[in-house]
Structure 1
Amino acid sequence: MKALLLYPLFPQSFWSYDRPMKMAGLKSVIPPLGIITVAALLPPDWEIRFCDRNVSLETDADWDWCDLVILSAMLVQKPDFHALIQKAVRLGKKVAVGGPYPTSVPQDALESGADYLILDEGELTVPKFLEALAQGKTAGIFRSIDKPDVTTSPIPRFDLLQMSAYFMMAIQFSRGCPFNCEFCDIITLYGRKPRTKEPSQTLAELQTLYDLGWRGSLFIVDDNFIGNQRNVKRFLRELIPWMEQHNYPFTFITEASVNLAEDDELLQLMIAAHFYAVFLGIETPDHDSLHVTQKVQNTRNSLVEACSKINQAGLLIYAGFILGFDGERTGAGDRIQAFVEETHIPQPMLGILQALPNTALWSRLQREHRLVEEMHTTATGDQNALMNFIPTRAIAEVAKEYVEGFWMMYEPAKYLRRSFQQCLNISTSTNEQTMKLPLGKGLHVVAQLIWHQGIRRPEIRGQFWQQLWQILLKKPQALNIYLFLCLTGEHFWEYRVLARKRITEQLGYDPLIVSGLRENVKQRSEESVIESKISQTFSYSASRSNQN
């Protein structure tokens, strides 16, 4: 079998870092770990070609050569994903698809013409697909309600990657999360019982990357790295001597729940293993909203104190925030802004709540007849999309707080000030844990930064040089992290313009959305309550339409 594995294009998004990637001479932030793991599950006698379309495009010769096209996609990749399915159909090629998007909304892939849907987790469903192929079946949907033992997962085919095109590499240690946040689809996709690989298994993946020549930062893509604290500590205790023996070739970033701050030993192990940053799902400083969305783990202790402790332990903090929870009080956006300024989180990911398919939130809103199908999240797949349900306060009010909040938090002077203060707050150990650019990229990036922020931009030129000098004097160990934050600021200063434009366009008068909202309202028993909310949105949209 000749299989062409394709990874669809990403639109410009919060995490795409488009401009910084160009400045650094790179193509993409991280490689697609899922599809190169699927590649490792395919028979060894298959011929495989792989293209991450975010790095380089496949050729006409690749399409002519293949018997089968295999695609994996997330929601945000929807447009290119469907375009590739339809191209394969036109060319008479069989198409197999998988990944989070087809798993959540399989009907979309079927309607575009996909032949084989390899859903859920590949360790269990790829073998079913291969068996169907061997039996000569020309189509099929392959699912499993069971969760695989990830200790059986193979080493991903890192050798298929153009490694020099990526900012960082990626591995996975665990799947699943023990918490029960209503809006989250991770527990729907991967379950609430975190499953982990063996330490030796993960070290073998790191050794593979090391042998292929990778040196630099590495993203452990777990949705909650500390979901199984016992096993993660086992891994870290074996990772620390491996890193020392290999002269610290990598530094690590991952995602974790805020209760990381409650475990001093875990923090110390992560620092000793050369973790330099963590992404925290904070969502909101409003405790009533945290209870509504069942994120009670964030209410046990002060979120400000938790961030301070993680920072002082030695980790840079990234964090996610959400607007639009049921019962949310006016000014939620202002309170998020105040929290971000107090904690000096450089890159807050602010989004408007979306009901993702099959989540607890989706099911509840469906029962309440509050979902608006025409506005579902796959329309843009990014954080700057209006909610796809009828909220408990005016959509226009939430949208205004989102646009103003995102715009103000990424005002260049404020952004650089937070980045500077966060770096000063980071405690650094003797064995430095810091962000590392791929080999040969550092000097080029510094030269680009000096030109763009130290010379070309008069509004931040003085601040750039003053803060850079202070970092060199007070915290030279944090210099790489600080320069990286300066670099990625170039992305957010452009992206906030795009975010404002997207929201403004969605607030325009759209008959399809209006129709969908009205139809949903008719199905509700408390019609009058919601009608008042919708009328505010309609009047706002109509006034904008008249102005335009």
Structure 2
Amino acid sequence: MKALLIYPRFPQSFWSYDRFMEIAGLKAVLPPLGIITVAALLPQDWEIRFCDRNVNLETDADWEWCDLVILSAMLVQKPDFHALIKKAVRLGKKVAVGGPYPTSVPQEALDSGAHYLILDEGELTIPQFLEALNQGQEQGIFRSLEKPDVTQSPMPRFDLLQRDAYLMMAIQFSRGCPFNCEFCDIISLYGRKPRTKEPSQALGELQTLYDLGWRGSLFIVDDNFIGNQRNVKRFLRELIPWMKQHDYPFTFITEASVNLAEDDELLQLMNEAGFYAVFLGIETPDQDSLQVTQKLQNTRNPLIEACRKINNAGMLIYAGFILGFDGERAGAGERIQAFVEQTSIPQPMLGILQAPPNTALWTRLQKEQRLFDDISHPTGDQNTLMNFIPTRPVAEIAKEYVEGFWILYEPTNYLRRCFQQCLSIGSLERRKQTMQFPLGKGLQLVAQVIWHQGLRRTEIRLQFWQQLWTILRKKPQVLNMYLGLCAAGEHFWEYRALARKRISEQLGYDPMQVSVLSKPEPMLIKS
């Protein structure tokens, strides 16, 4: 079998870092870990070609060569995913699809012409698919109610990647999350019992990346790295000596729940292992909204104090915030802005609430008949209006979102938070460095940052040099981190205009130009 594995393109989004990638000479932030794990589950006698369309496009020769096209996608990749299915069918190729998007909404992949739907987790459903192929079946849907033992998951095919095109490499340690946030599809996809790999297994993946020559930052892509705290501590205790033995070749970033701040031992272990940053789902400082959405782990301790504690443990904080929860009071956007200023979180991901398919929120809104047509309404991006009828005016939410995003990413505000966050990071004595850039890319990135912010942008030029000089004097260990955050600003200063444009198109007017009180309720959102 000749299989062409294709990963669809992402649209420009908060996390695409388009201008950052351009000035750094890179193509994409992260490699697609899921589909290269699928590659490892396929028979060894198959011929495989892999293409990440975010890095390079496949060729006509690739299409002509293959017998089978395999696609994996998240919801935000929907347009390119469907275009690829239709192209494959048009060329007479068999198409197999999987990943979070078709798992959640299988009918849409069938409607585009996919022959095989390999849903849920591939360790259990790819063997079903391979058996069907052996039996000559022309189509099929393969599912599993059980969750696989990830200690049996194979080594991803890191060798298939054009590694020098990515900002970071990626591994996975666990799947699933113990919490019950109403809007989150992770628990519907992967369950509430976190399943972890063995420490030796994860270290084997790191050793493979090391042997392939990777040096730099590495994302542990778990949706909640600390979901199983006992096992993550086992891993960290083995990772620390491995890192020392290999002269600290990587620095790590991951995602975790805010209760990370409650475990001093875990913070210490992550610091010693080389974790320089963590993404937290803070969502909102409004306690009543956290209760409504069942994000109870965020209500146990003061959120500002939790952020400070994680900073003190040596980690930069990235964080997600959401507008549009049921019962949300007016001014939620301003309260998020105030929280961000108090914590100096450099890159707050502000979004509008979506109800992803099959989540508890989706099910509740469906029963309440408040859910919009899921096919025609755009979903999956941070700057899309909600796909349901909210409890306060859409215009009010949209205005708070656009104004909040615009103010948070005003260049002087953004650079000030980057500076303050870097200075607030503690416990760096054991650390060689923080954020790392891929080999050969660091000098280009620094030169570009100095050109754009130290010379070209007159409105921030003085601020940039003053802050850079203070970093060099007071905390040179965070220089890479500071310059990396500065470079990312080039992306966000463009993206905030795109976010405003997208919301304005959906509303039919620019919410920043119209008083909420003078505009009728625009419940008929353009789809």
TM norm structure 2: 0.97
CA distance in 1, matches of 2:146, 2:438: 39
State the SS of the aligned residue for 1:248. coil
C-alpha displacement of 1:168: 0.3
**Whole-angstrom distance in 2 between the partners of 1:541 and 1:200:** 51
Moved more, 225-234 or 427-436: 427-436
Whole-Å separation in 2 of the counterparts to 1:117 and 1:375: 19
Matched, 1:16 2:19: no
Preserved CA contact (<8 Å) 2:248 2:432? no
* Counterparts of 2:431 and 2:258, CA distance in 1: 25
CA shift for structure 1 position 40: 0.1
SS of the residue corresponding to residue 459 of structure 1 reads coil
Alignment of 1:292-307 (within 5 A): 292-307=292-307
Per-residue Cα deviation, 1:18-62 (whole angstroms, up to 9, x for no partner)? 011010100000000000000000000000000000100111000
Within 5 Å, which residues of 2 pair with 1:137-216?
137-216=137-216
Equivalent pair of 2:394/2:522 in contact (CA under 8 Å): no
Give the letter aligned to residue 522 of structure 2. Answer: F
SS across alignment from 1:436 = coil
* Counterpart residue number, 1:42: 42
In structure 2, give the amino acid aligned to 1:106: P
In structure 1, what is the equivalent of residue 513 of structure 2?
none
Structure 1 position 355, deviation (Å): 0.5
Q: 1:538 — aligned with what?
A: 522
Aligned to 1:546: none
In the alignment, which residue of structure 2 is the partner of 1:419? Answer: 418
User: Which residue identity lines up with residue 254 of structure 1 in the other structure?
Assistant: T
Distance 1:433 1:345 in 2: 20
What SS class does the counterpart of residue 522 from structure 2 fall into? helix
Structure 2 residue aligned with 1:281: 281
Paired residues for 1:11-410 under 5 Å? 11-373=11-373, 379-410=378-409
Task: Note the C-alpha offset of 1:539.
Answer: 8.5
The amino acid that maps onto 1:83 is A
Checking the alignment, whether the CA contact within 8 Å between 2:272 and 2:430 is kept in structure 1 is no
Q: State the secondary structure of the residue aligned to 2:87.
A: helix
Q: How far did residue 537 of structure 1 move?
A: 2.0
Task: Tell me the secondary structure at the aligned position of residue 459 of structure 2.
Answer: helix
Cα distance between partner residues in 1 of 2:352 and 2:183: 11
Aligned to 1:459: 459
Q: CA deviation at 1:429?
A: 2.2
Amino acid at match of 2:7: Y
Q: Deviations over 1:218-240 (max 9, x none)?
A: 00000000000000000000000
Q: Does the Cα contact within 8 Å between 1:308 and 1:343 map onto a contact in 2?
A: yes
* Inter-partner Cα distance in structure 2 for 1:180 and 1:458: 47
Distance 1:174 1:81 in 2: 26
- How far has the Cα of 1:538 moved from its partner? 3.1
C-alpha distance in 2 between matches for 1:310 and 1:345: 12
Q: Which moved more, 1:262-271 or 1:427-436?
A: 427-436
Q: Unaligned stretches of 5+ in structure 1? A: 510-532, 543-548
Q: Is the CA contact 1:168–1:216 (under 8 Å) kept in the aligned structure 2?
A: yes
1:540–1:50 CA distance, 2 compared to 1 (3 A): closer
2:445 counterpart residue number? 445
Q: Matched residues in 2 for 1:374 and 1:439: separation? A: 43
Match of 1:537, as an amino acid? E
Partner residue, 1:527: none
Question: How far is the alpha carbon of 1:376 from its aligned partner?
Answer: 6.3
What is the alpha-carbon distance in structure 1 between the residues aligned to residue 120 and residue 113 of structure 2? 19
Does the residue aligned with 2:278 lie in a helix, a strand or coil?
Answer: strand
- Residues 427-442 of structure 1 mapped to structure 2, 5 A cutoff: 427=426, 428-442=428-442
Aligned-residue offset at 1:103: 0.3
Distance 1:187 1:141, change over 3 A: same
SS in 2 for 1:537: coil
Name whichever structure is richer in helix by fraction: 1
The answer (yes or no) to whether the contact 2:321–2:349 under 8 Å persists in 1 is yes
Deviation at 1:508, TM superposition (A): 1.4
Distance 1:293 1:403 in 2: 23
Give the letter for the 1:23 counterpart: I
Cα distance in 2 for partners of 1:540, 1:78 equals: 23
Write the distance in 1 (CA, Å) between the matches of 2:376 and 2:274: 40
Cα distance in 1 for partners of 2:449, 2:522 equals 45
Contact 2:176 2:190 survives alignment (8 Å): yes
Aligned residue for 1:280, secondary structure, equals strand
Find the aligned partners of 2:441 and 2:104 in 1 and give their Cα distance: 38
Q: Percent identity?
A: 81
Q: Secondary structure at the match of 2:15?
A: coil
Return the TM-score normalized by structure 1. Answer: 0.93
Counting matched residue pairs gives 517
Query: Using the alignment, how far apart are the partners of 1:201 and 1:433 within structure 2?
Result: 26
What amino acid does structure 2 have at the position aligned with 1:250? F
